[in-house]
Amino acid sequence: MAQDVTLIAQPLTLPCGAVLKNRLGKSAMSETLGSRDNRVTPKLSRLYQCWAEGGTGLLVTGNVMIDRRALGEPHNVVLEDRRDMAALQAWARAGTRDGAHLWMQLNHPGKQSPVLLSRQPVAPSAIGFSNPALKRFFATPRALTGEDIQDLIQRFARSAALAREAGFTGVQIHGAHGYLVSQFLSPLHNQRTDEWGGSLENRMRFVCEVYKAIRASVGNDFPVSIKLNSADFQRGGFTEEESMQVVETLGGLGMDLIEISGGTYEKPSMAGQGAKESTRQREAYFLDYAEKVRARVSTPLMVTGGFRTTEGMVAALQSGATDVVGLARPLVLAPALAHDVLSGQAVISEVKPIRTGLKPVDDMAMMEVSWYTLQLDRISRGKAPQADASGLGSLLKVLGVVGWRRLRMGRMRA
């Protein structure tokens, strides 16, 4: 049965004046398709050209790191200077085909930088992971100094300016999923006693200063967005009420789009873990939160996580709680899904849980992330995604790749 997709096909004008051609957005997924020395590769251009030609109005890249001393994964792209400008320009041209917007997601992992990449990560406070399984892979961080913090703020701004120079049409601050900006916001991870910690006003100071520095570096006509947790879902962590206050503050500063997500490595709600059945039926994991936020701000919102059908996407937009439907995994299995949705087809995504048969592994969100990362690599090499790929086989391949990368990293450091 054909669907009325008028709302999905409607353009969206952002506060800065930029216009998204439709209401479908590809949310960030970490591609790890950079070179081993963290430079841009042609694989990224091929991957994003595929999505741009697939009809999605907004494409947000995966983690682009602002500091090569702090990586989230091997093969992240790092943007500190102009050394990769030609490759960045090729990536931007590919990702803006057919009128798509391509926004670069800027990130710093904070303490979520694995030991194999950073033996001394940094964070707002010197507090390591409480989860015993994660403690093995992440070292206890060093608390940032005031000088460190100012340097990081300027690094975000410099990377944003370089992204604009290269032809990207916007940037997104990664403020979710337990990375550095999220760590500053959380009273569980940020136990500072200076102007960067304590009250919510102080804890949100870092993200506000990052936004102001970026805005000063790119101008008022360039989209600046943020991906923000609705909550951390951890006892003593960043709460829903605090999140809404941050949204109000950032909206008042002029943020162009706020993407709603949630969770951390320790509580991976962004993958749908622990979602109630009523939430799953609505498809969007964070739509209830977005409805509360919509009553408080007029800033455009993008809700990501859980969308599987045309019907669910239309319903979310009709509710008024979101302005953009955020998609991630469905666009991996069907890069041209947007064309199907916009043609009025009753799309049902093939996304389903990935299982290895090993319960401890299946309970880890990172397993599914790894499975999808392998699919991104296939698309970047001109191959079709493999929806029926074995979970266990994918796990073994990922472990082999990580082991090889770890060996190479050791050789590079020697």
Least confident of 129-138, 146-155, 241-250: 129-138
Does residue 3 or residue 99 have the better pLDDT?
99
User: What is the residue-averaged pLDDT of the chain?
Assistant: 89
CA distance 356 to 368: 10
User: Which run of H or of E encompasses 112?
Assistant: none
Residues 6+ apart with CB under 8 A from 39: 77, 78, 83, 84, 87
DSSP 328: S
Of the pLDDT bands very low, low, confident and very high (cuts 50, 70, 90), residue 271 is very low
Whether the model clears a pTM of 0.85, i.e. scores above it, the answer is yes
Q: Is the separation of the CB atoms in 284 and 322 below 8 Å? A: yes
Q: Is the pLDDT of residue 274 over 80?
A: no
Residue 270: pLDDT band (50, 70, 90) is: very low
C-alpha dihedral (398, 136, 240, 311), degrees to nearest 10: 10
CB atoms within 10 A of CB 275: 16
Structure tokens at 248: 């109000």
Distance of CA 167 to the CA centre of its chain: 20
Residue closest to 280 by CA, chosen among 380, 352, 183, 358: 352
Q: Where are the domains of the chain?
A: 6-352
% of the chain at pLDDT higher than 90: 75
Is 3.20.20.70 the CATH classification of the domain at 6-352? Answer: yes
* Structure confidence at residue 265 (pLDDT): 53
**Residue 3 reports pLDDT greater than 60:** yes
Report residue 247 as tokens: 């949204």
Q: What pLDDT sits at residue 232?
A: 66
Tens-digit pLDDT profile for residues 185-207: 999 999 999 999 999 999 999 99
339: burial class by Cβ within 10 Å (0-12, 13-18, 19+)? middle
pLDDT at 322 > cutoff 70? yes
pLDDT at 119: 86
